[in-house]
Amino acid sequence: MTYSELYTYAKSRLTDYEAMCMMEDIFDLDRVGLAIHGNDIPQNEKSFLTAVEKRVNGIPLQYATGKAYFMGREYFVGEGVLIPRDDTEVAVNECMKCMTGHERVIDLCSGSGIIAVTLAKEFPTAEIYAVELENRAFAYLEKNVKYHGADVKLVHDSIFNEKCVEGEFDVIISNPPYICRNVIPTLQREVQYEPETALDGGKDGLDFYRCIAHKWLKKLKQGGKIILEIGEEQAESVSELLKMQGIIQISVVKDIQNLDRVVFGTMKK
Ligand SMILES: C[S@@+](CC[C@H](N)C(=O)[O-])C[C@H]1O[C@@H](n2cnc3c(N)ncnc32)[C@H](O)[C@@H]1O
């Protein structure tokens, strides 16, 4: 089939938007490219048809194409790694506002690496670490760091082992698993394809925040910053956990939907 025929076929099975995303992600052809090369025959027709079939069967678009986008950069994704969410921009923006470029920063629960890679690319002189436990997610983290030529020190370990990285940090940032365990089965169908290990925050959703508060805040320098992405109902509990470990000037930042999305604070001096 030609590019145009494949596009028409995809549109007959998916939405126009999704069909176009597939053309862009798999053939690197936007609407203009399609107008120019529409009658050509691609080499990788099979990858395209496989991706359409996966999407028709309910697999998230990003897993079907193997690509996702975050703050203007492209990332490899697939089963085993959380699909980047736009919500995470709130945490990254807060982090960038408090950085000058000379900080030692750690991204806990790094997943595909969107946070660590963005910070490393925007602040090439900063020292950035990324910690991820799960094998499949770690493989994507490595691949994305390499793809972007980002200077990120990778740590394949659990954040429950705070000794996996030596020394103190100026900034700790994390988007950890934060969904209450019993809520996971009720989430929409597409989220069910994402790894439970990226979602499951324990019985009350706070296991990882407790770990960060108790184990990692000891490694935050005086005056250092903590930035945590949270679920919309967790601001109070997470703020309380941080306060008990010496964090002051705590603020809660909302996302574009006006929901609490980030808790931000400073380690007392
Ligand atoms: C909510 S996802 C966030 C991924 C990424 N930071 C983002 O914003 O897209 C949480 C990540 O934590 C990882 N994870 C789960 N348990 C972990 C642990 N004990 N130590 C380190 N990472 C863990 C998961 O594999 C997943 O990649």
- Is 189 found in the same domain as 138? yes
**Per-residue pLDDT at 237:** 98
- The answer on pLDDT for 261 being more than 90 is yes
207-236 tens-digit pLDDT: 999 999 999 999 999 999 999 999 999 999
CB crowding 15-33: b at 16 or more within 10 Å, else e: eeebbbbbbebbbebeeee
- Is 166 found in the same domain as 51? no
**Counted domains in the chain:** 2
39 in any annotated domain: yes
CA–CA dist 122, 251 (Å, integer)? 24
Arithmetic mean of pLDDT, 239-265: 98
- Whole-number Å distance, alpha carbon 29 to ligand 1 midpoint, is 32
- Whole-number Å distance, alpha carbon 82 to ligand 1 midpoint, is 8
The percent of residues in the chain predicted with pLDDT above 70, rounded, is: 100
Structural domain that includes position 47: 3-57
Ligand 1 contact via 131 beta carbon (within 6 Å): yes
User: What's the CATH number where 159 sits?
Assistant: 3.40.50.150
Ligand 1 contact via 88 beta carbon (within 6 Å): yes
Arithmetic mean of pLDDT, 106-133: 98
Distances (CA, A) of 29 to 14, 175, 206: 17, 33, 43
CA–CA dist 266, 155 (Å, integer)? 25
70 in any annotated domain: no
Ligand 1 contact via 227 beta carbon (within 6 Å): no
- Is 180 found in the same domain as 100? yes
> Which of residues 57, 72, 98 is at a domain's end?
57
**Per-residue pLDDT at 146:** 98
- Is 139 found in the same domain as 47? no
CB crowding 210-228: b at 16 or more within 10 Å, else e: ebbbebbbebbbeebbbbb
Ligand 1 contact via 91 beta carbon (within 6 Å): no
120 in any annotated domain: yes
Ligand 1 contact via 82 beta carbon (within 6 Å): yes
Q: For residue 50, what are the contacts with CB-CB under 8 A and spacing of at least 6?
A: none
- Is 114 found in the same domain as 8? no
75 in any annotated domain: no
- Is 163 found in the same domain as 215? yes
Ligand 1 contact via 112 beta carbon (within 6 Å): yes
Question: Taking Cα atoms as reference points, which of 244, 226, 242 lies closest to residue 234?
Answer: 242
- Residue 229 in 3-state DSSP? strand
163-187 tens-digit pLDDT: 999 999 999 999 999 999 999 999 8
- What's the whole-model pTM score? 0.96
- Is 233 found in the same domain as 122? yes
- Is 127 found in the same domain as 53? no
- Is 178 found in the same domain as 46? no
pLDDT band at 191 (very low <50, low <70, confident <90, very high): confident
- Is 154 found in the same domain as 27? no
67 in any annotated domain: no
99 in any annotated domain: yes
Cα dihedral 155, 161, 166, 167 sign? positive
- Is 245 found in the same domain as 129? yes
- Residue 246 in 3-state DSSP? coil
153 in any annotated domain: yes
Distances (CA, A) of 110 to 83, 120, 269: 12, 13, 28
- The answer on pLDDT for 188 being more than 90 is no
- Whole-number Å distance, alpha carbon 52 to ligand 1 midpoint, is 28
pLDDT band at 189 (very low <50, low <70, confident <90, very high): confident
125-156 tens-digit pLDDT: 999 999 999 999 999 999 999 999 999 999 99
- Is 86 found in the same domain as 38? no
